[in-house]
Amino acid sequence: MDEVFRKLEKAGRTDVDNLMKWLKDSKIIETVRDEKVRRLFKDAVNQKRIELQKFKEVVAELAREQSKTAEQLSKQLADTAPKVLDAAAVGFQAFKEALKK
């Protein structure tokens, strides 16, 4: 999970919305819990650039609520990494194309 997060960080994709999408894609959260999970990010220094440590805290809290370990959820996140990284790459490519115009 850390490696994927760092790649997202390099691509500038560690905002709350993108991390929420990753959590949903990983089947860790459901849409109905959006606001509750967003509140876990509330005290982050920068909502547009969440730090790895803060993300780990959120994952740990979600694990506790689901009676799982943070390691189990981290593995789930790591397993869905390609989907998240592909989306980040597509977004970055679209951004580069827009700059050319």
Provide the domain count of the chain.
1
Residue 68 pLDDT exceeds 90: yes
**pLDDT band with cut points at 50, 70 and 90 for residue 41:** very high
Helix-helix angle 70-79:2-10, to 10 degrees: 50
Which 8-state DSSP code applies to residue 80?
Answer: T
Output the pLDDT for position 93: 66
Question: Of the candidates 33, 25, 31, which has an alpha carbon nearest to the alpha carbon of residue 79?
Answer: 25
Predicted TM-score of the model (pTM): 0.76
> Residue 82: which domain range?
2-100
pLDDT tens for 45-66 read: 999 999 999 999 999 999 999 9
Length of the chain: 101
